[in-house]
Structure 1
Amino acid sequence: MFFNKNKKIKRLSVLIFVILASANLFAQVGIGTTDPQSTLDINGSPSIASEVDGLLPPRLLRSELIAKTGYGAHQMGIIIYVSDLSGATNTQTRNVTEVGFYYFNGNMWGKMGSNNSSGDIKSGIQLTDHDGWIRLDGRAKATLTVTQQVQATALGIGSLLPNADNAYLSQNGAALGSVSGSNNRSIARSQLPLFTLGGSTNTEGDHADLDIIGSYSAGGNTDTNINVNDWAVIRSVGTIGDHDHVITTDNLNNTGSQQTLDITPVSLSVNRFIYLEN
């Protein structure tokens, strides 16, 4: 048994020596090929269904990655796969918020496959911050992480995040990230249609108008208003010729005050987020 173990070790050492020697001699290593076309060229076996092709990087729990202290500038470019999200993140692992592939940039771990840039805006039905996306809800910038505050400041955001409630995206020449305008409008009189209201009674030619002298109610009171069931004394004022009777109309707005006009269109309710990293 001791002999067999030493024999395996010897074979492994020879194999490692051959690989290293090939790397030193040719500066290129081929696995599954005798004609490597890069520093490391690996050919699989796509025609053999029983063989599994692919590269399998180190798989770590997030808590295991957090506990490691050896990563520095010399490890820039290392790739690993984080298989769970155990443990509380530290400075190097603060971007490790999902299961998946990560690379080390010399200072911290970054998620592979992310095309987001600081300052990107997106809509979503998520309720809270997530994966470096910060909800634009008008909160104080000081409530964010140090990295997010630095990114927000670099983008020109002041002490408060923009509040995107009931706001629409627009490239209008205003300060980037600012919220301006209103969804309500008041129409001034000068903006009403050019239309004059008015009119007159019908014209009936020469006729006599009557003048009310007084009216008598059942109680014996006298006034100039004729009510139902009153008696009235009238007199003719004579023919005054063909004429019109003037009428008056109410103000177009009979509420006493002008109301604002809501110009908000039908919309899908979402939240707005800005990418500020983690």
Structure 2
Amino acid sequence: MHPSEGRAIPLAHEQGLSAQDPQRSDQNFGVNSEAEGFVKFDRQIKALDKSLQGFINAMRPIGSSDDLISSASSLRTRLVDLHSGFRRNAARLFPELERLDAIKEMPWRGAHPLSRHRANPSPDAVMTPTILGNLLNNCAQELIWLLQLLNEFPEFTDDVMNTSSLNFYDDLRYWASCLLDYGVVKNPVSIVGLPQDEQYRPINRHINHLPGEMGDYLTELNAALIMFVDVGVPAIRTAQDRATTRLQNLSTVATFLSAVTGATLQYSYA
């Protein structure tokens, strides 16, 4: 689906429902329907973060995976930055998210990368189109780098992950370019006599539509990662083990032939 045809589902707050507890009712916390969309996005991005950590753990025993692990870790960091940026934007539209954070932050305090390593910007900072555009570009670059490294493994044949990642990459770049262009031609601070919060509110609402666009991509990529860990990683490990066994067998044969050749030469000289 093209970004211009997307749904207007807003992003989740930074400390929302955990990926392990998707059944909890958002309405129990007294938020409106738009703010509930933030909880959905929050849950999706945390689920992807968890799957990326599982992917990293699964790849550690795999040979030649250091760059891949580093790339996956960098992607997690970029997702944290993006999550933080959307949450800051959302908090300006839905003040009740601050109260939700106070309720739901405790289970994650010091225990989850999204809370432990987030940029933790000032609550008064304004999420401008230029800042968010750069965050989207950073996330896109890390995603495509991860995919390129994965495709260096000859055993990697996951068309689903390739397709999901490439589509997500294309739309991340598209959204980023739109926001960066908007940031150049639009300067809301120049509106004389209007408080800064009011100047940025139309931009906040525009940005608020993007997390809903990302939701399907986050879910697809999360499912692809889970499948890859369950199926792809064992296949790569098996192929590498077989290659190692073949090399060991060749080495044994070479050693045997070398010994036979040496013995033959000794007899011939004798």
User: Which structure is larger by alpha-carbon Rg, 1 or 2?
Assistant: 1
Q: If the length of structure 2 is used for normalisation, what is the TM-score?
A: 0.18
Q: If the length of structure 1 is used for normalisation, what is the TM-score?
A: 0.18
